[in-house]
Chains A and B, each alone.
Chain A
Amino acid sequence: MTNPLTYLRRAPLRRTLEGAGAIWSCLGDTAVAASVPASGLATGAVATGGLFLGDLSALPRLGFKGRGTIAAMKARGVTVEAEPNTAFIQPNGSMCLVLAPGEVILLGDPLVANAQGDAATYDKMLESWKLDDEERTYPLLRRDSHAWFVLGGARAPAMLAKISAIDFRPHKFENHSIAQTSVAKMSAIVTRSDIGVTNTFHLLADSAAALYFWTSLMDAAHEFGGQIVGLTALQELSLHVKTRRSQIET
């Protein structure tokens, strides 16, 4: 059984998820809550629209900022354009969130079995970056500065309406759109990236306030029967979607 304390890198909600009965698995240089049995939510319930909430803070991510950022990302093979508040899906399933013409956040794909796979790419980007390269892009440790939560289900927009002023309904907030806004009185980056037909949002917020933010999300989700999910449930949901799609196509 994986013990998160054996890793030097630990996610901000380690204690909270332990309290919820999390079962951990290794994810590169840290541990991630693979499942949270206490929530009692099956993947099937997720697929049928139940509201779910997961902590992806352990997963790889990296930011870049500076006037030359978009060009620098393209030079590194990232699929991206200077279109603020848009998430660009990479061929491997990871995302490049464009926050401004000069700022991006790269999010690893949590839905693949090898969810730490993007970490190597980001580490390489960080190591190869040089201040003297005249690229005018500067890395930011988004894995440390921002906690990462995933929120999904048909009622997710209604839940978010309790803590944010943005209209996140599917027909108003397009897939792969980004809102940089206030959520529960905190600055947050909200990205819609559906898993199949499941309305799904990725929320990035101040890691130091992760517990407060998580508590606020759980409080808002309570009315809709929100449940905590681990990474495995998300990955199974994704697999379920892919299998269904494959069946339909054949």
Chain B
Amino acid sequence: MSAHNDRRLDGPAWGLLADHTKPLTFTFDGKLFNGFAGDTIASALYAGGQTILSRSFKYHRPRGVLTMAGHEANCFVQVAEEPNVRADRYTLSNGIAVLSLNHFGSLKYDLFSVIGAFSRFLPVGFYYKTFYRPRGAWKYFEKPIRYMAGIGKLEPDAQHKYYDKSYLFADVLVVGGGPAGLQAAIASAECGADTLLIDEWPALGGSLLYGRSLGSRADTDKTRLELIAKARALPNLTIMTDTAVTGLFSDNWASAISCQRLYKIRSKHTIIASGAFDQPLVFSNNDRPGIMFADAAQRLMRLYGVKPGTRAVIATSNRFGYETALDLLDAGIEIAAIADLNATPSGSAFEALKARGVRIMAGCTLADSKGNRHVESVAVAKITGEGTASSVRDWLSCDLVVMSVGYTPALNLASHAGAKVVYDPAISMHRTENMPQGIVLTGSAAGIWNSDTVSSAAKAAGADAATRVQGLSVDTSPAPVTDPEAAAITHPYPIFTGKGTKDFVDFDEDLKTRDIINTVKDGYDDIQLVKRYSTAGLGSSQGRHTNLNTIRIVAKQTGKTLAQVGTTTFRPPLVAEKFAHMAGRAFEPVRLTSMHGRHIELGAQMMTAGQWMRPAYYGTKTDPARAIAAEVRTVREGAGIIDVSTLGGLDIRGPDAAAFIDRMYTWAYEKQPIGRARYTLMTDMSGVVMDDGVACRLHERHYYVTATTSAVDQVYRAMTWFNVHWKMDVDVANVTAAYSAVNLAGPMARDIVQKLKTDIDFSKEAFPYMGVRVGHLAGIPVRVLRVGFVGEAGYEIHCPSGFGEALWDKLMEVGKPMGLKPFGVEAQRILRLEKGHIIVGQDTDGLTHPAEAGMEWALAKKKSFYVGKRSIEMQMTKGMTRKLVGFAVVGSGVPTPKDCHLIIRDGEITGRITSVVQSPTLGKAIGLAFVPPGMSEVGTKFQIRVDGGLMADAEVVATPFYDPDNKRQEL
């Protein structure tokens, strides 16, 4: 266990988030550490003396806390099976096992760190220039390079966790719970708007949590508490903490992540008060553990009660460096010196420190650092010009270096939404132009830094947003706010490089000043190309701490202004989103027929048919072929029952019902007698076969039309679309779910159905083939169709779905003594193929027109119109290029062909199989196949290439294969 507890600060002013009454333990690389509830992994490690958190991406340099905000890759660790956890944002829990990343050997003694000595051989873009010669060499380099540059490790056997999504709604969304966001949200809510305030930290306050923006720490904290109390008292203000807004899209659609949930936020107006990101001072060896941003040092102390060091050097160009120095003194940390990049420091904090005798070195910068795995001293040098410093160095011993040389506004979300980001030389920072309607920036994100101005501007933004979303009159928009103080925040060129030094511009990607310069020298002088070639800003920080300095270097190298150089595009997500967040909880609707439970009880093996579940066959999985063959025999020799509830059903009703059907389908229906069913074939406007089924005329003005399971929605859509265009007096209703149905088929079918009490005359004479009757069966209201898809006498019995299970029960009950058994989709496939019936979508494709499928007989010749008629006539004139034919495999000794196997003639592919089965009834393999018209004559021989490259002999045969005279179905 670590003994470095002297780094902890006690007292109410320190460790706002860490509860010192609740100790926790955890391990880091197997070593036990202490922490407190509310700590992050990084804060607890730092308190325990572990200041190296990781090794850098390329050179494997030791890295530690930089932002304490989870903004860069320095803080990545692995927690159990979860890779790339941000140690400085991950709230500690008892007993977790944390591992460091990206090293060979231990974190302390990483053998890969030797790479740093060869950095001159790894110039920017080296992977574009090396490893690809000789040809094929890359595959030998790729694996070790990826290993060396790897970050977290994926655990393929990781347990699936529950992630989901939820919508959130608000009139006004305020992003950021700092001083600006809080005041904007309060103003919005006070003006009556339904307001949602989101902040990524566990507690509201932003910089008020740790800073001194109101002069003293006490005053700042008092203001924070007052604002929070005010906000929480407003009933129409919803507050969410620990939630990160990750993207802002069209129409104010914002995404946010909290724990294992992705929120989809809909608001009318968005106020972005997302603050600003620290910018690093670029100098030699500016990446050693112990060198961090001022905000990071303040967060360690104020949020977690951890001393960042014992003796500090501060490099600054603004008031925040001085304010941090005051905090460090309050924490008992010695200040070796403050190096101010400005020649003439000023301000109240400066005066206070000066009065306390702190050494202030005006017009100076840091030029170098030394240390063995932690900073031990830094060199301070006089600034001699833009980006240059004296070679005379004043080395100061220290274990903490704090940087505060400027910020860049967090304009990412505004940019996601479409705002243009431009550089403003007056403040040495970027700002936005052309903000989309309904989105405003406030606070430091809008370039406002003076606390009074922040307050007034935020309040105005909140009130204005509330007024607008409530539809109240708005005279004018709030005037654009300019803050003179903004010019004193960011140094225009905090880059002091030396030849051959490790002066990092990008900590994620291990990019130095020289890398950016060489990128420009290599010809990539456009900022977009600089980004892609050098990879600056491509790491997990997404350019937060890289872009501005990169632009500065490019501007200097190209002789352009920063405004001319422009900037790269911010793209969502702003913080990392897991694939699990994107996937969320899967919603995959499953449709079950009313008889589903019975199928399960009977041992059915279920299969999917679109969203439906259907019985494939009944029996164990051990010998499906045998079970299916038995089901086929049952239907051919006795009686079988299959659940066909998934068939589409459409009620077409109204005075124009017949005329409408006549237009939608290819055959003729206007003269169809009531009580009769007729085959239907639907084509689209290009003449392609869409669907088939039967149309049952139940009344002069009523057709009940069936459609295939998979195409009914498409058919319904087409019907309603054409009905709107044609303006016919007809109503189309998709009643698929309203009706269940069974097909009772086989020589015994009539005997079975007649056992039930019914008001329908099922005799052959009264109810002929293709007849339709409406009545009752066993007390259940039914529509009965005498159709024969499987080629036997049978009845398709449709009933309201609430009665479906009872209908099944009644039929099974009376049919059992007569050998009635259920059969599944697989047996039905065989039965229908034996009968030569096609399945649209299986035996046709997206180009099949009726003649190709042998359906000319279903085309009405005398009708002036049906959908697709003109196209079909054109295709018929043009001639066919293929034809669907029946075939039988001849000979033996080769495997049975499968669907989509190719037809070969003279070594050339000439067609393909659409359906093929081993027919139990006929004792041979039969099927349907597309072949050239010249091969469609009965008796034509061809070969099929089957599994293993073997060739099966087959010949074209007439269909139906079974009962060609249709005597059985008309029994």
A90 to chain B, nearest CB (A): 23
Interface bits B296-324 vs A (CB < 8 Å: 1, else 0):
00000000000000000000000000000
> Chain A residues with Cβ under 8 A from B626's Cβ?
none
List the B side residues contacting A185 at CB < 8 Å: 587-589
Contact of B805 among A10, A66, A172, A219 (CB under 8 A): A10
- Assess the B591–A165 pair: CB atoms within 8 A: no
> Is B593's beta carbon under 8 Å from chain A?
yes
Question: Does A75 count as interface, using CB distance less than 8 angstroms?
Answer: no
Q: Are A10 and B802 in contact (CB under 8 A)?
A: yes
Is A180 in contact with chain B by the CB < 8 A criterion? no
- Contact among B167, B699, B702, B802 with A143 in the assembled complex (CB-CB below 8 Å): B802
**At the interface with chain B, which of A37-45, A47-55, A193-201, A207-215?**
A207-215
Q: A30-B802, A167-B266 are in contact. Are A144 and B737 (CB under 8 A)?
A: yes
Least distance between A61 CB and chain B CB atoms (Å): 11
The answer to whether A169 and B169 touch (CB under 8 A), given A145-B737, A209-B611, is: yes
Q: Which of B74-82, B126-134, B728-736 has 4 or more CB atoms under 8 Å from chain A?
A: B728-736
- Residue pair A138, B731 in contact (C-beta under 8 Å): yes
Would you call B800 an interface residue if the criterion is a C-beta within 8 Å of the partner chain's C-beta atoms? yes
Tell me the complex Cα distance, A213–B803, Å: 20
User: Restricting to B229-286, which residues have a CB under 8 Å from any CB of A?
Assistant: 264, 266
Beyond A66-B731, A140-B738, A161-B167, whether A209 also contacts B264 by CB under 8 A is: no
Whether the Cβ atoms of B166 and A65 lie closer than 8 Å is no
A101 interface residue per 8 A CB criterion: no
Q: Which of A11, A138, A167, A169 has the most CB of B within 10 A?
A: A138
- Knowing A65-B733, A132-B701, the reply to whether A161 touches B801 (Cβ < 8 A) is no
Judged by a CB distance under 8 angstroms, whether B779 is at the interface is: yes
User: Does A117 make an interface contact (CB < 8 A)?
Assistant: no
B194 interface contact, C-beta 8 A: yes
* A248 on interface, CB distance cutoff 8 Å: no
- Chain A: residues with Cβ within 8 Å of the partner, total of 45
Check A131 for interface membership: any CB of B closer than 8 A.
yes
Distance in angstroms from A241 CB to nearest chain B CB is 24
Nearest-CB residue, chain B, relative to A137 = B731
Q: In the complex, which residues of chain A have a beta carbon less than 8 angstroms from the beta carbon of B780?
A: 8
Q: Which of B654, B731, B778 has the most CB of A within 10 A?
A: B731
**Given contacts A131-B699, A144-B800, A208-B612, A65 and B591 within 8 Å (CB-CB):** no
Q: Is the CB of A171 within 8 A of B194?
A: yes
B757 to chain A minimum Cβ distance, whole angstroms, is 12
Contact B167 A186 (CB under 8 A): no
Q: Determine the distance from Cα of A186 to Cα of B611 in the docked complex, in whole angstroms.
A: 11
- Asked if B589 and A212 make an inter-chain contact with CB atoms under 8 angstroms apart, the answer reads yes
In the complex, A145→B169 CA distance in Å?
Answer: 32
Q: Which residue of A is nearest B593, CB measured?
A: A208
Query: What is the chain A residue whose CB lies nearest that of B739?
Result: A144
Which residues of A have CB within 8 Å of B737? 144-146, 206-208
Which of A141, A161, A165 is the one whose CB lies under 8 Å from B735? A141
| A141-B164 in contact (CB<8A) | no
Q: Check if B547 is an interface residue, CB within 8 A of chain A.
A: no
Find out whether the CB atom of B591 lies under 8 angstroms from the CB atom of A136: no
Cα of A210 to Cα of B593 in the assembled complex, Å: 10
Residues of B within 8 A of A12 (CB): 592, 594, 801
A73 lies within 8 A of chain B by Cβ:
no
Judge if B806 is at the interface, Cβ distance under 8 Å.
Answer: yes
Q: Which residues from chain B contact A169 at a C-beta distance below 8 Å?
A: 169
Contact of B594 among A10, A140, A162, A219 (CB under 8 A): A10
Contact present for A145 and B801 (CB under 8 Å): yes
Query: Chain B CB within 10 Å — which of A7, A163, A171 has the most?
Result: A163
State the majority secondary structure of interface residues on A.
mixed
Instruction: Return A119 CB to nearest CB of chain B, in Å.
Output: 12
- The residue of chain B having its C-beta at the shortest distance from the C-beta of A102 within the complex is B731
Instruction: Indicate which residue in B167, B590, B778 contacts A209 across the interface (CB closer than 8 Å).
Output: B590
Smallest beta-carbon distance A125→chain B, Å: 16
The binding surface of chain B is classed by DSSP as mixed
A2 to chain B, nearest CB (A): 16
- Residues in B766-780 with C-beta less than 8 Å from chain A: 778-780
Chain A residues positioned under 8 Å from B738 (CB to CB): 140-142, 144-145, 207
If A141-B738, A167-B169, A219-B585 touch, whether A11 touches B802 (CB-CB below 8 Å) is yes
CB atoms of A8 and B166 under 8 A apart: no
Q: Are A145 and B735 in contact (CB-based, < 8 A)? A: yes
CB distance from B264 to the nearest CB of A (A): 7
Interface bits A147-181 vs B (CB < 8 Å: 1, else 0): 00000000000100111110101011000000000
Determine which of A9, A15, A140, A216 lies in contact with B802 in the assembled complex, contact meaning CB atoms within 8 Å: A9
Contacts of A145 in B (CB 8 A): 735, 737-738, 801
Q: Does B150 contact A (CB under 8 A)?
A: no
Task: Please measure, in the bound complex, the distance between the C-alpha atom of A30 and the C-alpha atom of B166, giving whole angstroms.
Answer: 37
Q: Give Cα A66–Cα B729 distance, bound, in whole angstroms.
A: 10
Partner of B801, one of A7, A186, A208, A211: A208
- If A141-B800, A171-B194 touch, does A162 touch B164 (CB 8 Å cutoff)? yes
Name the residue in A145, A167, A185, A213 with the highest tally of chain B Cβ atoms < 10 Å from its Cβ.
A145
Q: How many angstroms between the C-alpha atoms of A84 and B258 in the bound complex?
A: 37
CB of B850 to closest CB in A, whole Å: 31
Residues on B with C-beta less than 8 A from A209 are 589-592, 611
What residues on B are CB-neighbors of A211 within 8 Å?
590, 592
Once the chains bind, are B651 and A138 in contact (CB under 8 Å)?
yes
Asked if A184 is an interface residue, CB under 8 A from chain B, the answer is: yes
- Asked whether B869 is an interface residue with its Cβ less than 8 Å from the other chain, the reply is no
A169 to B699, alpha carbons, bound, how many Å? 47
Chain A residues lying within 8 Å of B735, measured Cβ to Cβ, are 140-141, 145
Bound together, the chains give a CA A208 to CA B801 distance in angstroms of 9
A161/B168 in contact, CB under 8 A? yes
**Closest CB-CB distance, A71 to chain B, in whole Å?**
15
Nearest Cβ distance between residue B970 and chain A, in whole angstroms? 31
| B802–A144 touching, CB < 8 Å | yes
- Determine if A8 and B585 form an interchain contact, defined as CB atoms under 8 angstroms apart: no
Closest Cβ–Cβ distance, residue A224 to chain B (whole Å): 12
Write out, one digit per residue, whether chain B residues 383-413 have a CB within 8 A of any chain A CB (1) or not (0).
0000000000000000000000000000000
Q: Shortest distance in angstroms between A59's beta carbon and chain B's nearest beta carbon?
A: 12
B653 interfacial by beta-carbon distance below 8 Å: yes
A160 CB to nearest B CB, Å: 9
Question: Which residue in chain B gives the minimum CB-CB distance to A164?
Answer: B167
Partner of A9, one of B592, B700, B736, B806: B806
Given contacts A131-B701, A144-B737, A208-B612, contact A138 B653 (CB under 8 A): yes
Q: In the complex the two chains form, what is the Cα distance from A146 to B591 in whole Å? A: 12
Q: CB-CB < 8 A to B941: which residues of A?
A: none
Q: Does B597 contact A (CB under 8 A)?
A: yes
Contact A184 B701 (CB under 8 A): no
**Given the interface contacts A161-B169, A171-B194, does A140 sit within 8 Å of B805 by beta carbon?**
no
List residues of chain A with CB within 8 A of the CB of B166. Answer: 158, 161-162
Q: Using Cβ atoms and an 8 Å threshold, which residues of chain B touch A206?
A: 589, 591, 737
- Asked if B168 contacts A136 (CB within 8 A), the reply is no
**Complex: how many Å from CA A122 to CA B168?**
39
Q: Is the CB of B590 within 8 A of A212?
A: yes
Residue of A nearest to B168 (CB): A161
Residue B633, interface by CB 8 Å: no
Contact between chains at B801 and A8 (CB < 8 Å):
no
B194 contacts across to A, CB distance below 8 A: 171-172
Of B266, B588, B653, B802, the most chain A CB neighbours within 10 A belong to B802
Q: 18 pairs across A/B with beta carbons < 8 Å?
A: A10-B802, A10-B803, A12-B594, A14-B597, A15-B597, A131-B699, A131-B702, A138-B653, A142-B738, A144-B738, A144-B802, A161-B167, A162-B167, A207-B802, A208-B593, A208-B612, A209-B590, A209-B611
Nearest first, the 6 A-B pairs at minimum CB distance are A145-B738, A185-B587, A167-B169, A208-B591, A144-B800, A8-B806
Instruction: Using CB atoms and an 8 Å cutoff, list the residues of chain A in contact with chain B.
Output: 7-12, 14-15, 30, 65-66, 131-132, 136, 138, 140-146, 158, 161-165, 167, 169, 171-172, 184-186, 206-213, 216, 219
Given known contacts A8-B779, A140-B735, A146-B737, what 10 new A-B pairs fall within 8 Å (CB)?
A8-B780, A65-B733, A131-B700, A144-B801, A167-B169, A167-B266, A208-B591, A208-B737, A209-B589, A213-B589
